[in-house]
Chains A and B, each alone.
Chain A
Amino acid sequence: MSFKGRRVKNKPKNSEQGLAYLLLSPVLILVGGLILVPVLGTFITSFFRNVTFMPPAKFIGIRNYARIIKDPQFWQSLRFTVAFSAVAVALESILGMFYALVINEKFKFRGIMRAIVLIPWAIPTIVSARIWQLMYNYSYGLLNYVLVHFHLCTHPINWLGSPVSAFFSIVTADVWKTAPFMAILFLAGLQAIPQSLYEAARVDGASISQQFWRITLPLLKPIIVIALIFRTIDSLRIFDLIYVLTGGGPGGSTSSVSMYGFKSYILGDFGYGSTVSVITFLLIFVFTVIYLKVGNFSGGLKENER
């Protein structure tokens, strides 16, 4: 493009640009007001001692952050949250992939099957958490009933009673609920893969597993990375499931970072609660960056472009 040409084009473009900004402004204001302002507010509040019963709010620098680093309960919550996310997301991905591969195949009643797979995802977490709570119930729960009734166990099991079994009980409930979410995303990805690739592979004599590892997985990679990011972000904020199932027990071993922050808000300590929120944000940020780097996300797209 020549220098001259550009200049000529510039003039009408300016007014057009102005109009564009004008038309965009409601969205910008909305986004700014609804997201940017509260987010900045949280960052700012995290540097204050802002407790409802200790007025007035006072600037205290990074003392909230110093306090959080020294609090063993915070580290306990962080360890639990990260461990939970790692285990739950891994299981959800594997199970979700399995679901997706099954419901991607053509078979009778496929539509019904797809709908059934999605049901757990459609149930609000708080409701499914209550259902799981009833199933885990020591005296009247379904699980213990089956175990004892069919003589698989002599005594009922206290599912939420030890840190390890409580951990896996929560993971199970979470996997049951969110594996379908992974399945939807993977299914969308699977359907975008051209059938011709598989036909060509079959002609070349590739086995089913070769087709999966060489065609399906690489082409699904961008979707997998996105799904992992969404699920990881979500599970790092786990709250409702734990709130219903264990309340953070036994002995605080299943308290998550969100739960930890929530308790500060309940106390009326908004400064410290904000600090927890900021740290949650940073945690999620780190994980997202790692996923994007490891997933070689932008690189993958460029390759596709070629």
Chain B
Amino acid sequence: MKKLKRLGKIITILVMIAMVSAVFVGCKSQTLSTTPSQEQQSQPAPKNVSIVFAVGGAPSEIDYWHKVIDEFEAKNPNITVNLLKQPMDSGTRMQTLVTPLSGHESTPDVFLMDVAWVGQFAASGWLAPLNGYVSQDNYDTSVFFKKVIDLADSYKGDLIALPVYIDAGLLYYRTDLLKKYDFSAPPKTWEDLVKIAEKVQAGERKNNPKFWGFVWQGKQYEGLVCDFLEFIASNGGNILNKDGQPVLNSANNIQALTFMADLIHKYKISPPSTYTEMTEEPVRMTFQKGNAMFERNWPYAWGLHNSDDSQVKGKTGIAPLPHFLEHQSAATLGGWHIGINTYSKNKEAAWKFVKFVESYDVQKGFAMNLGWNPGRQDVYKDSEVLKKAPYLEKLREVFVNAIPRPSVPYYTKMSEAIQKYVNAAIAGRMDPKTALDKAQQEVEQIIKQYGS
């Protein structure tokens, strides 16, 4: 029976290994904070450099990026750009960047960032300052939205990123159904929206039991914070006040959150799956299948709603999001920014690529082909662009006034707390006041922990 004894030993060792591997998750080496060196800057791009460009998104967007890269390579035959394909989901896109950057990897050399993470990336010292290149090339940054450059792309006086495209929350609506139920215009206030949605939903349900009045992003994830910010800001509220102090449990915010929960539980114009499944894509698909009257989404949905396989092609309108009585419409500033990895060995080539992506023609191409809203303001005046997307002129106003999420390095943590409590409130598990009181408390704690 010695065999059994040995078996026992082997098993014990196996168990130990399995246990120890549990700790593996934590085996990130300590990140030493070396200040990024800028010595490689002045070298001219050597022959045959290859850079890695990390980007994610819908398949059509990735395809388009391939075209952009081909054009760039044709113009810069000595630079090869390898596209590192990231997923669609914004959170996952962030993780695939945080891992190499916190390990001081030299690739990806250049990447797109959601506006929400730029603060954390910049404060961690991962983004190469662009000031040197800007002055070296006499690069004109005034073509970009000034507010975006100031609020999102600057860190401690350095320019650390440039906007590739700008996003802001919009209201999509069905023009055909609006007419069918005798409404003349899309809603200006949330009260109007409820009124229209209730009537249309009641009518459409007769033939289509899956029809909903209003679909929006409510799952526990970053998108919920964007929607939440729009609801509260359109009621005069905010997350932080001007001094950076949290003001989450203000009366205005509680009222707005109550309304969000009411959309699902009281008016029943938003599906119960709002707080479990609804991220951008499920929301878009619900609307695109003809199963919703109103949709809150980013501008990217426009192009897809009007594609050939869409059931709402030519029946979709866009408008600024509604607001509460006596307040202003508000849209969360979203959008993606391009930055250069501070540990990259080919920053010069990466900068060339950045310049190319930000060039008038490429930016115009984004607007024409993907329906993106360019980071460059001058493209909004292009007659061809306006012909293809006449709404852009109107949207420009929305973008200029869009409200950014708090730009703090610990934003993800703050967002996580807000997501959790707002989600609990719209799931009907917590009353809105308690939820926001708790969120306020937790955010105060977070600021105490990381705000020093």
Contacts and interface: CB of A to CB of B under 8 A. Distances in A.
Interface string A270-302: 100110111011001100100000000110010
Given A161-B276, A163-B429, A266-B412, A251 B420 contact: yes
A208 interface: no
Contacts of B20: 35, 39, 281
Interface string B91-131: 10011001000100000000000000000100111100000
Nearest to B27: A38
Interface residues of A, number: 69
Contacts of A278: 23, 26
Contacts of A267: 120, 410, 412-413
Interface string A164-183: 00100000000000000000
A159 to B, nearest CB: 8
A61 interface: no
Main secondary structure on chain A at its contact with chain B? helix
B277 A160 contact: yes
Interface stretch (B28-36, B169-177, B188-196, B351-359): B28-36
Chain A CB within 10 Å, residue with most, of B2, B23, B94, B220: B23
B275 interface: yes
Contacts of A276: 26
Interface in A200-217: none
B30 A57 contact: yes
B371 interface: no
A228 to B, nearest CB: 11
Contact of A53 (B23, B24, B123, B423): B123
A261 B275 CA distance: 23
A158 B273 contact: yes
A114 to B, nearest CB: 24
Label chain B's interface by main secondary structure: helix
Nearest to B25: A277
Interface stretch (B3-11, B42-50, B61-69, B227-235): B3-11
A250 interface: yes
B410 A266 contact: no
B410 A53 contact: yes
B30 A45 contact: yes
Contacts of A163: 429
B141 to A, nearest CB: 25
A223 to B, nearest CB: 10
Given A53-B409, A230-B18, A268-B124, A251 B29 contact: no
Nearest to A43: B23
Contacts of A273: 26, 28
Contacts of A191: none
B142 to A, nearest CB: 29
A56 B34 CA distance: 9
B125 to A, nearest CB: 7
A42 B27 contact: yes
Interface residues on B, range: 35 or more
A266 B98 contact: yes
A276 B22 CA distance: 11
B424 A252 contact: yes
Of A55, A280, A306, chain B has the most CB atoms within 10 Å of the CB of A55
Interface string B130-144: 000000000000000
Interface string B279-316: 00000001000010000000000000000000000000
Given A39-B27, A56-B33, A139-B273, A277 B420 contact: no
Contacts of A285: 19
B161 to A, nearest CB: 16
B449 interface: yes
Contacts of A96: none
Nearest to A44: B30
A249 B26 contact: no
B18 A55 contact: no
Contact of B276 (A56, A249, A262, A274): A249
A162 interface: yes
A17 interface: no
* Interface-centre pick from A56, A67, A252, A263 (highest chain B CB count, 10 A): A252
Contacts of B286: 139
Interface of B: 1-2, 4-5, 8, 11, 15, 17-33, 91, 94-95, 98, 102, 120, 123-126, 210, 219-221, 271-273, 275-277, 286, 291, 409-410, 412-413, 416, 420-421, 423-425, 427, 429-430, 449-450, 452
28 contacts: A38-B23, A41-B27, A52-B125, A53-B409, A53-B410, A53-B450, A67-B449, A73-B420, A158-B276, A159-B276, A160-B277, A161-B272, A161-B273, A161-B276, A226-B11, A229-B18, A233-B15, A248-B220, A251-B220, A251-B424, A251-B425, A252-B423, A252-B424, A265-B28, A267-B120, A270-B28, A274-B28, A280-B23
Interface of A: 35, 38-39, 41-42, 45-46, 48, 50-57, 67, 73, 137-139, 158-163, 166, 222, 226, 229-230, 233, 236-237, 246-253, 258, 261-263, 265-270, 273-274, 276-278, 280-281, 284-285, 288, 297-298, 301, 304-306
Given A41-B29, A160-B276, 10 more contacts: A53-B124, A53-B450, A249-B423, A251-B427, A251-B429, A266-B412, A268-B409, A280-B22, A297-B8, A301-B4
